[in-house]
Amino acid sequence: MSTIAEKKEKVSVPFDYNKYLRPNKLPHIWCPGCGHGIVLKALLRAIDRAGLEKDNICMVSGIGCSSRTPGYVDFNTLHTLHGRAMAFATGVKLAKPELKVIVITGDGDALAIGGNHFIHACRRNIDMTVLVMTNSTYGMTGGQYSPTTPLDAIATTSRYGNIEPPFDACEMARASGATFVARGTAYHTIELERTIHDALVHKGTSIVDVIDACPTYFGRANKYKSATHMMELIEKDGTVNVKQAEKLPPEKLEGKVLRGVLHKVERPEYCEQYENLIMQKAAAKK
Amino acid sequence: MTQAVKKLPRIEINEKFCKGCSICVDFCPTDVLELRGPVVAVKNLEACTRCQLCDLRCPDFAIQVFD
Ligand SMILES: Cc1ncc(C[n+]2csc(CCOP(=O)(O)OP(=O)(O)O)c2C)c(N)n1
Ligand code: SF4
Ligand code: SF4
Ligand code: SF4
C-alpha cells in the first residue's frame, strides 16, 4: 500500500518520458519487476525538473544491468568498462566542463571493481551526479554477492550465507569527500525524483545511493515472493527518511537505513580549480 | 433530469512493453488493475483516483493515466 506521505506529494505525471528516450531501443532488456526502470523514470523526471537540455547532458556508465541505462536515453552517452564509469566521466568533464555529467553505476560496478575511482572522484569533488543502483547483487553475471549484500544473504557465491560485512556507499562517499550524499529507493519514487534533482543542481561530486530490487537473482535466492514483496520489505519497511528519523526514538530506528539528503557542504570544485590555476599561470607569464 | 456523468480517467497500457510484473496491480490503492495472462488490464476504471502510483512504479514505461 502507498504511504500517505507519497500520496500527498505533488505529482508530476503523466510525464512525457519519450522526450528523453530513444523509443526504437525499447522495451528495455531488464527483467520483469527490475528496479532499474523505476529509477530511470525518476531520473528523467528530475532532469526535466532541473530544466537540463538533452544535448548538454553526458550519461556515462560501466558494465552491469544498471549500466545498460545510457542505451535507452537520448543524451550524449558512453557505455564504458566495468568499474571505470567515474574515470571516463572525469575525462569527459575535464574536456568539456560545460556538460552535465551523470554517471549510472551498479553497486558492484561502483563499489567493488570501481571502488578506487569512486573514492578519488569524491575526493576531487569533480562536478558530476552519480546514481549507484544498489540491488545488493551482481545482476548481469548471475547473482554473485556484491559489496552491499547483507550478512547471511544467499548469493550464487554464498550458498550458505554471506560472511562479508556490507559497505555503506553513503558513508564511503562522505568519508572520501563527496559534497552531496543522499539515498533514495525505487519504492519512494517521488522523493527519489526530488533527491536526484537536488543532486543534479549541486556543484561538485553528488552521490545518490538508490536501493532497488533485482527480483531475478537477489529476490529468488533470498525467498522473496515478488518484486512488490522486495519493495515493501527492503525499500519501504527497511528505510526511514532522515527528517522523520530525527523525531523517532532509537528503538524505532534499529536496522533502518536512512533516506534523503544525508550530507551537503560547499567545497571548491575540481574543474573550476583547474581552470583558475591555468588562468593564474597564464597571467603570470605575460 | 439527467444525472451528471462522472468523467472517467483514461488508462493507457502498452501491452508490447508490459512484462506482467504485477507491481502496478499490487500497489494500486483502489484495486483498479489485474493481470490478464501475461499483461496488465483494467478491471474497474470507476475506482481509479488518478493517483498515478501505477505509472510511477512501473519499471517498463507500460502504463499511464490521463485525466
Ligand atoms: C573487468 C571485468 N570484470 C568482470 C566483468 C563481469 N561483470 C559484468 S557486470 C558485473 C557486475 C555487475 O553488477 P552491478 O554493477 O552491481 O550491476 P547490476 O547488474 O546488478 O545492475 C561483472 C562482475 C566484466 N564485464 N569486466
Ligand atoms: S538480473 Fe536483476 S538487475 Fe539484471 S535486469 Fe534482471 S532483475 Fe534487473
Ligand atoms: S492511477 Fe492510482 S487508482 Fe488509478 S489505476 Fe493507477 S494506481 Fe490505481
Ligand atoms: S508495473 Fe508496468 S510492467 Fe509491471 S504489470 Fe504493471 S504495467 Fe506491466
Domain containing residue B29: CATH number:
3.30.70.20
B15 contact A CB<8A: no
Please tell me the predicted confidence (pLDDT) of residue A171: 98
B42: pLDDT strictly greater than 90: yes
Q: Which residue range forms the structural domain that includes residue B57?
A: 20-66
The tens place of each residue's pLDDT in chain A, 286 residues long, gives 344 344 444 545 699 999 999 999 999 999 999 999 999 999 999 999 999 999 999 999 999 999 999 999 999 999 999 999 999 999 999 999 999 999 999 999 999 999 999 999 999 999 999 999 999 999 999 999 999 999 999 999 999 999 999 999 999 999 999 999 999 999 999 999 999 999 999 999 999 999 999 999 999 999 999 999 999 999 999 999 999 999 999 999 999 999 999 999 999 999 999 999 999 999 999 8
Contact yes or no for B23 and A21 at CB 8 A: no
**Contact check, Cβ <8 Å, B16/A14:** no
Asked whether residue B6 is assigned to any structural domain, the reply reads: no
| Residue at B9 is within a domain | no
* Residue of B21, B22, B56 lying closest to A189 (CB–CB): B56
Residue B4: its pLDDT value, please? 72
Is B35 a domain residue? Answer: yes
What distance in Å separates residue A202's CA from the closest CA in chain B? Answer: 25
CB contact under 8 A, B61 and A41: yes
Ligand 1: distance of its center to the CA of A133 in Å? 12
DSSP state of A269: -
**Is residue A8 situated within a structural domain?**
no
Residue B41 has what pLDDT?
A: 98
CA–CA separation, A144 and A234 (whole Å): 19
Q: Would residue A147 count as lying in a domain? A: yes
CATH number for the domain spanning A66: value is: 3.40.50.970
Per-residue exposure over A171-194, b if at least 16 CB sit within 10 Å of its own CB, e if not: ebbbebbbbbbbbbbbbbbbbbbb
On whether residue A154 sits in a domain, the answer given is yes
- What ligand has the least distance to the C-alpha of A137? 1
CA of B2 to the centre of ligand 4 (A): 38
Domain-located, residue B29: yes
Tell me, yes or no, whether A80 lies in a domain.
yes
Beta bridge partners of B41: B34
Instruction: Write down the pLDDT at residue A1.
Output: 38
A21: in domain? no
Please give the Cα distance from A23 to A226 (Å, whole number): 28
Probe residue for ligand 4, chosen from B40, B43, B55, B64 as the CB with the greatest number of ligand atoms within 8 Å:
B40
Give the nearest ligand 4 atom to B33 CA.
6
First to last CA, chain B: 26
Question: Could you give the number of structural domains in chain A?
Answer: 1
Region B39-67: what's the mean pLDDT? Answer: 97
Nearest CA to ligand 2 atom 1: A139
Whether A33 and B66 lie within 8 Å, measured CB to CB: no
- Whether B7 maps to a domain, the answer reads no
Q: Identify whether B45 is part of a domain.
A: yes
**Interface ipTM above 0.90:** yes
The pLDDT assigned to B6 comes to 82
Residue ranges of alpha helices (H) inside chain A are 4-8, 36-49, 85-95, 107-108, 115-124, 169-176, 189-201, 220-221, 227-230, 242-245, 250-253, 270-285
For B1-67, give the DSSP string. -PPPPPPPPEEEE-TTT-----HHHHH-TT--EEEETTEEEES-GGG-----HHHHH-TTS-EEEE-
Flag whether residue B52 sits within 8 Å of chain A, measured between CB atoms. yes
Ligand 1 within 6 A of CB of A182: no
Q: Which of B21, B29, B59 sits opposite A2 (nearest CB)?
A: B29
Residues 162-201 of A with CB under 8 A from B: 186-187, 189-190
pTM: 0.95
Q: Is B35 in the pocket of ligand 3 (CB under 6 A)?
A: no
| Domains: count for chain B | 1
| pLDDT score of B5 | 78
Task: Show the domain range for A134.
Answer: 33-285
